[in-house]
Chains A and B, each alone.
Chain A
Amino acid sequence: MDSYVLELLEKGKRIDGRRLDEFRKIEIRENVVEKAEGSASVKIGETHVIAGVKMELGQPFPDSPDEGILVVNAEFTPLASPEFEPGPPGEDEIELARVVDRGIRESKCIELEKLCIKPGESVWCIFVDISILNHQGNLLDASALASLVALRNTRIPKVEDGKIIRGEYQGRLPVIFKPINVTVAKIKGNLLVDPNFEEEKVTEAKVSISVRDDDKICAIQKQGSKEILFEEIDKIIDLAIEKSKEIRKLVK
């Protein structure tokens, strides 16, 4: 039996009344967790994600002794969906974290070289932890947006005698770009922006593109078990660049 999503799509309609190139309503709230050095809550429609940034001191990687370290982690908390089970991260969780990481890292939006305390010995480690709280589709765009906003309002804690003084700060994390992730799904030849949960169930292929402020593309990830055509990729890239501009306006 066909899904009712397909039924409506034949008439060019989506089950929540959106146009094919329309995002759901986006709600962003900054600094929702005071204990975190930076945080953000993002809702895209009913999909809800919180990203929290914790700054810790650590040793730099040997091949980049004067650069801070970025670690992105995601948890599909079992709260968010009946299919999420407690346990170690699955392949979807890990993929999401890595794709969000690439968007941030490749856009060079964080000036990691400004996060060195003592070269070769001590640098700032930025931990971005993504908590999925409600899964109504397109976790990737919501997670990338929450991570970006959280980083943009992250403050660097004061350090005294090599110890972090929580609650006292010495300035903001230097985040100089706003890379925005846009996901487009392909269903029966239609290209839909921001697929919701029901649409994802019948999605054949999905492409997520991370676009920087200057329209340069910093990361792409194709998901889904079916194929994409060349003309479709061209359209998806254009859509992603167009939508990224709209969403970027929402980020301070």
Chain B
Amino acid sequence: MNEKERPIVLPGEFLCQREGKKIGDNVYEEDGKVFSKVIGIPKITDSEVSVIALSGKYMPKVGDRVIGTIIGVEVAGWFVDINSPYVAFLPLGEAVEEFVDTSRVDISKYYDVNEVIFCRILKVAKNKIIQVTMHDLQAKKLVGGVIVKITPSKVPRVIGKGGSMINLIKNKTNCEILVGQNGVIWIKGKDKSKAIEAILLIEKESHIIGLTEKVEKMLSEEK
């Protein structure tokens, strides 16, 4: 069997000397040396050292687009479950264009509990208070369709290089598909079941070479 070893690093593994490089994600410095904090793929450039984690919960990052579920309606905003150990908050001002008199208006008319939204991470405060916003060209409420959750670290595989994998699925199934960086995927369309099966296949076999061909074959089968 032909085996190709990905150059992965383990927690505590030495990566490089610091030498003025920026400390990126999932690494730490000790005595001028940089080590990995997690199992992952190292990225060492002249200016920065970081590791892409191969597992772990979704940790919100500013700019990420995620799919969340409203879990609480407050006076001036909503609590959103973004599939992370941290709950996010969508402030009223980040969700609605017009002025809202919160003393008269029940804001659940805009977003209510259990509704699903595609939003962007606006702010991650030091104490992990997460804010999201709907003021984004792609942000919208998601109605109908189904949700599939995958391990967040496998999102790049579902998207593929330059979107190759996700576009393959979209084209072959004629579905509208939104992939959240937080591992939550929304699928809408008549032929959802094929898209669902494709995504479950990628999640299960993300480590194999030739996955794209396998997915293509599966999508082309008439069943």
**Which A residues contact B (CB, under 8 angstroms)?**
1-4, 7-8, 10-11, 13, 15
For the complex, would chain B's binding face be called helix, strand, loop or mixed by DSSP majority? mixed
Q: Which residues of B contact A13 (CB under 8 A)?
A: 193
- Which residue of B116, B187, B196 has the most chain A CB atoms within 10 A of its CB atom? B196
For the complex, would chain A's binding face be called helix, strand, loop or mixed by DSSP majority? loop
Pair count A-B, CB < 8 A: 27
Within the complex, the shortest CB–CB distance from B201 to chain A, in Å, comes to 10
B193 touching A11, Cβ below 8 Å = yes
Q: Which residues of B contact A2 (CB under 8 A)?
A: 146
Q: B24 in the interface, Cβ–Cβ < 8 Å? A: no
B145 touching A1, Cβ below 8 Å = yes
B147 touching A1, Cβ below 8 Å = yes
Q: Which residues of B contact A4 (CB under 8 A)?
A: 146-148, 187, 192, 196
Q: B200 in the interface, Cβ–Cβ < 8 Å? A: yes
The 27 listed contacts between A and B (C-beta, < 8 Å) are: A1-B114, A1-B116, A1-B142, A1-B144, A1-B145, A1-B146, A1-B147, A2-B146, A3-B146, A4-B146, A4-B147, A4-B148, A4-B187, A4-B192, A4-B196, A7-B146, A7-B192, A7-B193, A7-B196, A8-B193, A8-B196, A8-B197, A10-B193, A11-B193, A13-B193, A15-B196, A15-B200
Within the complex, the shortest CB–CB distance from A8 to chain B, in Å, comes to 5
Closest to A13 in B: B193
Residue interface mask B27-57, A partner, CB < 8 A = 1: 0000000000000000000000000000000
Within the complex, the shortest CB–CB distance from B145 to chain A, in Å, comes to 7
Within the complex, the shortest CB–CB distance from B204 to chain A, in Å, comes to 10
